[in-house]
A and B are shown apart, each in its own frame.
Chain A
C-alpha cells in the first residue's frame, strides 16, 4: 500500500495528482506535498486514483486544508471516488470546510 504524488505547476496553480491509499503509513507524504508552495495561490488535489482513505488520512486532509487556508491559498479536492467521499462525508469534512471544497467524481 502506497501513495504517489505528482506535482504539476500551472502558473500560480499547483496540481497534485495522487494515486494509492491515504492512511497512517502514507499521510506524511500528503502533508509534505504542500511544502514550499512559494507564489502558489491555488492547490488542486486530484483524488481520482485514491482508492482508500482511513481516519488518519482524513486527519491529514484536514490539516492540509487548514495549512493552505492559513496561508491564503485556495484548496480544492476533486474527482473523489464516491466510496471515498462517503468516508469524508460521515466524518463531516464538507460541513467543516465547506461543500465547495470537495468534488465527487461523476460516474
Chain B
C-alpha cells in the first residue's frame, strides 16, 4: 500500500517538521499527527510525553482525529493505550479492542490501535499512538503498517528528546528572567526613608507571586519638603515592571525643584502619554507634597485611589477626594491640585488597590470601610507600627487565601 518512495517522502516531511519543534514550538507536533493521519489514511493519531511531576505521568502533546464520528470518547482510548505502554515499556498492537479488558469504555470491535514507545536509549520519553477502522485493511497490511509506524516513531523520538531539552531550558530561563524582573522592581521601591523632624513614616510592599505593577517613591525635595508618589501600572509581568520604572524616573524628574503636585503629575502625563496610549496601558499616580513647616499636604491625583486621612481631633477617617483621569488617558491634561492642613496626631494612609481588593477564602474583599476602621483603631501608634498592625489585621482577614495582587502601603503621621 505504501511504496518505499512514499515512505521516504513521508519520513522526510516528518523530520523537517521536527527541526522546527526544536524552537520550542509544540504546535509542530499537532501538524505532524495531522500529516500522518492524512498520508497514512488513518482515523486518528496522538503523541504523548512523559511528565515527571509527582511520579510518572503522561501528557498529550498532540492529537488529531479525522472527521469520522465515533460512538465513544476516543481520547480515552489513546490515553489507555499510551498508559499501558508507559507502564510496560513495550509497544502495543491491538487488532480488536472489543475483548480487551483494558478497554472497558471502548467496546468496539471495529477499531485497532497501535501504540509505540519512544525511547531515548533506555528512557521512555513518550508514546506515539495510531488508531483506525479494522475493516479498512487486511491483517497483513496492518502488520506492514506497524513497521512504518516504528520508522516514524524513531524519528519522533529524536524530535521529542530535543523538544524536551529545549523547552526545559527555555522554561528555566523564563523563570530566571521573571525572578530578575521581580528583584529589579523590588530594588526600585524605597529602601531608606527620609528623616524629617515632626513626622513618622512607614512603608511596606507585599509582592504577589507574579511580577506586579505597584509603584511607590518617597523622597525629600530641594527645600526639604517630603514627596510621596504612589501608583499602579495596569496589568502584570515584565511590561508592568518596565512601566513602573519609567514612571519612577518621570516622576522624580518632574518633582525635583519642589514642583507643585498638579504641575508634576501633568508633566508625567505629557511625557508618558504617547507610549502609554499607543500600547493601551495606563498608570495611576498620586503625588503628595508635605511641607513640614506649616504642616500642609498638597496633592494631585491621576486615577489613583484617594488616600485616607485620620483626623486626631474628630477621631474620624475621610478620603482625600480629588478626581483626575489616569496617566495615559487624556493628552496634555492639566491636573487639579488640592490640599489639607494637618495637625498633631493626624495620619495619612496611601495604598494601592491590592489592599482593599484583598480577598478571604469566602471571596469577600477587605474593602475601604474596613481599612478605615483598622486605621482608626491603630491610630495611637507611630507610622511603622501602624503599618505592622495593618499587615497583621490584613493577614487575619485573608487567612491563607492566595493573594494575586501586590499590596503597597505608606503611612505619614504628624507626631508633633
A90-B306, A92-B326, A95-B325 known; A24 vs B236 contact (CB < 8 Å): yes
Check A62 for interface membership: any CB of B closer than 8 A.
Answer: yes
Check B329 for interface membership: any CB of A closer than 8 A.
Answer: yes
Interface on A for B, CB 8 Å cutoff?
1, 24, 52, 54-56, 58-59, 62-63, 66, 89-93, 95-96
Are B325 and A96 within 8 A (Cβ)?
Answer: yes
Chain B interface extent, by class: 20 to 34
Q: Which of B236-250 contact A (CB under 8 A)?
A: 236
A54-B353, A96-B325, A96-B329 known; A91 vs B284 contact (CB < 8 Å): yes
Give the total number of A-B pairs whose CB atoms are below 8 A apart.
Answer: 57
A54-B357, A55-B353, A63-B280 known; A92 vs B235 contact (CB < 8 Å): no
Interface on B for A, CB 8 Å cutoff?
232, 234-236, 280-282, 284, 302-306, 323-326, 329-330, 353, 357, 363, 365, 405
Are A91 and B280 within 8 A (Cβ)?
Answer: no
By beta carbon, the residue of chain A nearest B357 is: A54
A54-B353, A89-B323 known; A96 vs B330 contact (CB < 8 Å): yes
Complex Cα gap A63–B329 (Å): 11
Complex Cα gap A15–B358 (Å): 32
Complex Cα gap A52–B353 (Å): 13
Are A91 and B235 within 8 A (Cβ)?
Answer: no
Complex Cα gap A20–B280 (Å): 23
Are B281 and A59 within 8 A (Cβ)?
Answer: yes
Are B280 and A55 within 8 A (Cβ)?
Answer: no
Contacting residues, chain B, for A66 (C-beta < 8 A): 280
By beta carbon, the residue of chain B nearest A67 is: B280
Smallest CB–CB gap between B358 and chain A, Å?
Answer: 12
Smallest CB–CB gap between A96 and chain B, Å?
Answer: 4
Smallest CB–CB gap between A7 and chain B, Å?
Answer: 23
By beta carbon, the residue of chain A nearest B363 is: A1
Q: Can you name 12 A-B residue pairings with CB atoms under 8 Å?
A: A54-B353, A56-B234, A59-B234, A59-B235, A59-B281, A90-B305, A90-B323, A91-B329, A92-B323, A95-B323, A96-B325, A96-B330
By beta carbon, the residue of chain A nearest B281 is: A59
Contacting residues, chain A, for B330 (C-beta < 8 A): 92, 95-96
Contacting residues, chain A, for B323 (C-beta < 8 A): 89-90, 92, 95
Contacting residues, chain B, for A54 (C-beta < 8 A): 353, 357, 405
By beta carbon, the residue of chain B nearest A63 is: B280
* Interface secondary structure of A, over-half rule: helix
Complex Cα gap A55–B232 (Å): 9
Contacting residues, chain B, for A96 (C-beta < 8 A): 325-326, 329-330
Complex Cα gap A95–B306 (Å): 17
A96-B329, A96-B330 known; A58 vs B324 contact (CB < 8 Å): no
Smallest CB–CB gap between A89 and chain B, Å?
Answer: 7
Contacting residues, chain B, for A93 (C-beta < 8 A): 325
Complex Cα gap A54–B234 (Å): 9
By beta carbon, the residue of chain B nearest A92 is: B325
Complex Cα gap A63–B277 (Å): 10
By beta carbon, the residue of chain A nearest B283 is: A55
Q: Which has the most chain B C-beta neighbours within 10 Å: A56, A63, A66?
A: A56
Are B325 and A55 within 8 A (Cβ)?
Answer: no
Are B282 and A90 within 8 A (Cβ)?
Answer: no
Smallest CB–CB gap between A45 and chain B, Å?
Answer: 18
A54-B353, A58-B234, A59-B234 known; A91 vs B303 contact (CB < 8 Å): yes
Contacting residues, chain B, for A95 (C-beta < 8 A): 323-325, 329-330
Complex Cα gap A89–B323 (Å): 8
Smallest CB–CB gap between A23 and chain B, Å?
Answer: 9
Are A62 and B357 within 8 A (Cβ)?
Answer: no
By beta carbon, the residue of chain A nearest B333 is: A95
Q: Which has the most chain B C-beta neighbours within 10 Å: A54, A92, A93?
A: A92
Smallest CB–CB gap between B117 and chain A, Å?
Answer: 38
Complex Cα gap A89–B357 (Å): 16
Complex Cα gap A21–B299 (Å): 32
Smallest CB–CB gap between B242 and chain A, Å?
Answer: 16
